[in-house]
Amino acid sequence: MIYKSIVLFSLVSFALSGLGYFITTRKKEESAAEWLAVSRVSFAAGTVLISAVFAILIYLLTTHQFQYNYVYSYSSIDLPVKYLVSTFWAGQEGSFILWIFLLSIIGLLVMQSSKEYEPYVMVSFALANTFLISMISGIHVGDLTIGSSPFKTIYEAFPGQVPDGFIPPDGRGLNPLLQNYWMTIHPPVLFIGFASALVPFSFAFAALWREKYDDWIRPALPWTIWSALALGTGIMLGGYWAYETLGWGGYWAWDPVENGSLVPWLATVACIHTMLVQRKTGTLKRFTIFTALFAFIMVVYSTFLTRSGVLADFSVHSFSSLGLYNQLLLFILTFAGMGLIMMIYRWKRMPAPAYTKEIYSREFAMIAGALVLTLLAIATIIGTSLPVFSQLWGKPITLDATGFNTLALPMAVVLALLIGLGQLLWFSKTGYKVLVSNLILPVTLSVLSTGIIIFSGARDAGMAVLGFAAFFAFFANVQVLVRIIRGNARLAGGALAHIGIAFLLLGFISSGKYDESQGYVLPLGTKVSVFGYDLTYQGPAERDGRDAFKILAEKDGSVSELLPIMYFSTYSQAWMKIPDILVRPAYDLYIEPVTIEKQDTPANSNEIQFKKLESKQVGDLKITFSRFVPLSMNPDDIKIRLDFLVSKNGKEDSVSAVYAIGADRNPRSTPGESPSGVRLLVKSIDASNGLITILVEGADLMALNPKPESLIIEASVKPFIGLVWLGTFVTLTGFSLSIFRRVKTQHTDL
């Protein structure tokens, strides 16, 4: 009870803080200062309380307090500490706490640094926290329960099914898919991104509120880049986890949960660009505000899509519903409403100074890039929401991965071209002629490189065009990077981030479009040629304490060992399969276990059971039980003939055995014999289920020649998939450099 009260108190604190900040904006001088103080203290108190909630849940999890439903549902005694940490955000309630906690910390930091913006900005923070805490409050209002409390006990969760005060001896444990270190860090990183996305939103909202459209960008920009960095890192960790653990062979499937983090990232990156343009030129005020609002609205909307249960039937991995639908709907409507209504309300009065630069200026490329990113984000979120809205007027429809890819392809081409052009224009302020001379080298190199990839097999027109654009982005940015490093290396962030994007696009082409996949049977101890490797299945093994298969991969005299995992999870009541990957510079060889075919158990007995019309292999014989023929049904003298077909070396004989039960109730059996010397003796007949048991003599059991144990795998080759990881890493490094520079200078000229 006390735990739930702490949650309630933090809810009240944040609500009070929000109200206080709102009043602050309406008061003058002294009165405003008082309200400001109250609001600050309330926000700090809320933060302390939610930190306590955070600590309590950790305490309950680490001390295995299974009387709490959350602890019981996601953890168990045998879970190692590193995964005990993951249990915190394995469920909705815990991940909400994490999100609220991060929002509170970021809120405090923003409170410290936002000066005259403070009350306007903090209203958004206090409001978001109030909404989020309501999701975990578990308050009962009449029959209605608001939110789902992480501190619900087993006996509250299952009333009537367990006695009050019941403490289960052990928990259900953590979903084995989440028992992975990528999954330990992926959620917190993503939530840092989600939480930081509120900073640009709150500042943009404050800008509309105060009708001051320029000075909000300076404090908001580093946070926006930070948000893009965290979201990008989170997306990559999730993608790598999917690739390495889930075994569906890819890192991206356009699943609603994935799109839910991609769309805010696209919007955030668009926002960074519009912010930079606005700072440089003073134009684009409306668009900048729109992208800043849009990014966080998309964060909330994705939360709604993935947690309300509306997509439960369409996504492989959205959370199941906790009955938060209405609350989440209210959350998204509030934030979308307050952002958009405020924007519409101010629209006419927002200054829109004319854009005076030439078409071939760096800023124009950035505006166009931001526009493309925004459109792509909108299209992606429409595609993701399709099943939800189409349901309203009939059977749901979904957009498949091909649809998303088709949608993204031309956008990616335009973006890559802009990335190259825009960066080159940095140095082309003098105009058209310099631009052309700067274009010569990257264009030439791109044409050559595109020629090479077409020659090596990339014949698809769309891919060739994207390849050219990506190469152009790459060479143009390298050219720029070289010059930057000669000059002021601190400015290298942008060029690096863009080079990373070029790598990513090239990686998407090679690993997405030109991967090959094929199923193979690997008999134990036999070499099988798979994509240029000799694979030999060597029997069962162990990896990370789980059952695995040992496969040797030989090529050109070098031998590597692969250990794909397949084990039965009692948690999921299912076979879990984890691929193993042979990483080479030019490709990954990806081996996923499909199934294991055990050696047929040799018939160590010649006693065989049959149903009518059943055929069985007994050593070198194939025996079919064809029929019963009752010879006498006199209760004192039951006599039944049983007819069999015995096939040996392709020759088929019919054999009849007789089974009789006399007045003494003792069965007597007369064997039947085939010309080839096979004798069949009926041992028993079970009239209740029609099963008969016979003894077979004359079968060569050793000739059974069973199929050897075979491992069936799905193997695929993913060319240059390393470019995807390298690209993300380089892009994120670029983001990091930019934050560093912008925080350090806090003012900058481009």
Would you tell me which residues interact with other proteins (CB under 8 A)?
69, 73-74, 90-92, 148, 154, 157-158, 161-162, 168-170, 172, 175, 178, 247, 312-314, 316-323, 354-355, 359, 368, 371, 375, 379, 382-383, 386, 395-400, 402-404, 406-407, 410-411, 517-521, 572-577, 592, 594-595, 712-714
Distance in angstroms (rounded) separating the CA atoms of residues 447 and 459: 15
Nearer to other proteins, 146 or 198 (CB): 146
Which CB atom, from 372 or from 621, has the smaller least distance to other proteins?
372
Q: What DSSP assignment string belongs to 625-661?
A: EEEEEEEEEETTEEEEEEEEEEEETTEEEEEEEEEEE
Instruction: Output the smallest distance, CB 399 to other proteins, in A.
Output: 5
Q: Among candidates 624, 644, 646, 648, which has minimal Cα distance to 703?
A: 648
Closest distance between other proteins and the C-beta of residue 713, in Å? 8
The whole-angstrom separation of Cα 40 and Cα 46 is: 10
Instruction: Give me the torsion for CA of 135, 141, 142, 148, rounded to 10°.
Output: 20
DSSP 8-state class, residue 26: H
Min dist. Cβ of residue 318 to other proteins (A): 7
Q: Return the number of the residue (256 or 734) whose C-beta is nearest other proteins.
A: 256
Q: How far is the CB of 704 from other proteins (least distance, A)?
A: 22
Q: Whose Cβ is closer to other proteins: residue 403's or residue 667's?
A: 403
Instruction: Give one DSSP letter per residue of 548-569, joined into a string.
Output: EEEEEEEETTEEEEE--EEEEE
Decide whether 3 or 567 has the Cβ nearer to other proteins: 567
Tell me how far CA of residue 348 lies from CA of 161, 290, 492, 535, in angstroms. Answer: 61, 14, 38, 69
Minimum Å distance from CB 175 to other proteins? 6
Toward other proteins, which CB reaches closer, 402 or 601? 402
Q: Kindly tell me which of 516 and 607 has the beta carbon lying closer to other proteins.
A: 516
Question: How many CB atoms within 10 Å of residue 630?
Answer: 9
- Measured CA to CA, the distance from residue 653 to residue 647 in angstroms comes to 6
DSSP letters, 702-750, are: GGG-PPPPEEEEEEEEEETTHHHHHHHHHHHHHHHHHHHHHHHHSS---
Between 155 and 729, name the residue whose CB sits nearer to other proteins. 155
Which residue from 70, 92, 129, 131 is spatially nearest to 323, judged by alpha carbons?
92
Closest CA to 463 of 396, 521, 392, 512: 512
**Phi, psi (deg, nearest 5) at residue 506:** -65, -40
Of the pair 266, 737, the CB lying nearest other proteins is at 266
In sequence order, what are the residues at sequence separation of 6 or more whose Cβ sits closer than 8 angstroms to the Cβ of residue 367? 273, 274, 277, 284, 287, 355
* 3-class SS of residue 415: helix
Write out the DSSP string of 419-485: HHHHHHHTT-TT-HHHHHHHHHHHHHHHHHHHHHHHHTT---HHHHHHHHHHHHHHHHHHHHHHHHH
Q: How far is the CB of 319 from other proteins (least distance, A)?
A: 6
CB of 316 to other proteins, least distance (A): 6
Give CA separation, 363 vs 267, 368, 419, 478, in Å.
Answer: 18, 9, 11, 20
Smallest distance, Å, CB 72 to other proteins? 9
CB of 214 to other proteins, least distance (A): 19
- Cβ–Cβ contacts within 10 Å for residue 378, how many? 15
Residue with tokens 């934030």: 335
Q: Rounded to the nearest whole angstrom, what is the least distance from the CB of residue 113 to other proteins in the complex? A: 35
The nearer residue to other proteins, 145 or 733, going by C-beta atoms, is: 145
Closer residue to other proteins, CB minimum distance, 28 or 140: 140
Residue closer to other proteins, measured from CB, 368 or 481: 368
Q: Closest separation between CB of residue 307 and other proteins, Å?
A: 10
Nearest to 200 by CA among 332, 66, 291, 278: 291
Minimum CB distance to other proteins smaller for 268 or for 384: 384
Nearer to other proteins by Cβ, of 580 and 714: the residue is 714
Shortest distance, position 202 Cβ to other proteins, whole Å = 28
Residue with token string 């649809």? 403
- Provide, rounded to whole angstroms, the least separation between the CB of residue 501 and other proteins: 20
Residue among 398 and 626 whose Cβ is closer to other proteins: 398
389 to 135, 315, 325, 351, 440: CA distances (angstroms):
24, 15, 15, 36, 49
Minimum distance from CB of 394 to other proteins (Å)?
9
Rounded to whole angstroms, the Cα distance separating 472 from 583 reads 27
- Minimum distance between the CB of residue 616 and other proteins, rounded to whole angstroms? 18
Can you tell me whether residue 123 is helix, strand or coil? helix
**Least separation in angstroms between CB 31 and other proteins:** 45
Angle between helices 181-196 and 198-210 (to 10 degrees): 0
Cβ closest to other proteins, residue 389 vs residue 485: 389
Looking at the DSSP assignment, which residues form a beta bridge with residue 528? 535
Burial class of residue 423 (count of CB atoms within 10 Å of its CB; 0-12, 13-18, 19+):
buried
Query: Minimal distance in Å, beta carbon 649 to other proteins?
Result: 28
| Identity of the residue numbered 402 | T
In angstroms, the CA 177 to CA 166 distance is 29
Cβ 21 to other proteins shortest distance, Å: 35
Closer to other proteins by Cβ: residue 245 or 731: 245
| CB closer to other proteins, 161 vs 649 | 161
Euclidean distance between CA atoms 602 and 681, whole angstroms: 21
Asked if 378 and 407 touch (Cβ cutoff 8 Å), the reply is: no
Q: For 641-673, give one letter per residue: b (16+ CB within 10 A) or e.
A: bbebebbbeeeeeebbbbbbbeeeeeeebebbb
Q: What angle do CA 373, 377, 382 make, to 5 degrees?
A: 150
